[in-house]
Structure 1
């Protein structure tokens, strides 16, 4: 839900997810995965949900 509150972020996430299956370059795939992770972690933080990374701290 937190992602839906930010249409530009939601659109970027959809574009990244759509492109992820098309990538053949490992470095580019890692960059896409990292950006998706940042978007999802930010949304989780906004929603007050702890992520696995936070639980390990």
Structure 2
């Protein structure tokens, strides 16, 4: 995980601030983080259930 974070990959939160559109995208990413995290947790749970069923 540490290598992924320091690997030089660019994310919406680490970009240089060029203009208004980046600010809008950054705010959208921050405002939807909780919802996206819940969706991700549901998908991981489904994967776990299917894996256990094997």
Give the alignment's TM-score, normalised by structure 2.
0.43
Structure number with higher relative contact order (C-alpha < 8 Å, ≥ 6 residues apart):
1
Point out the structure with max Rg over C-alpha.
Answer: 2
Give the alignment's TM-score, normalised by structure 1.
0.41
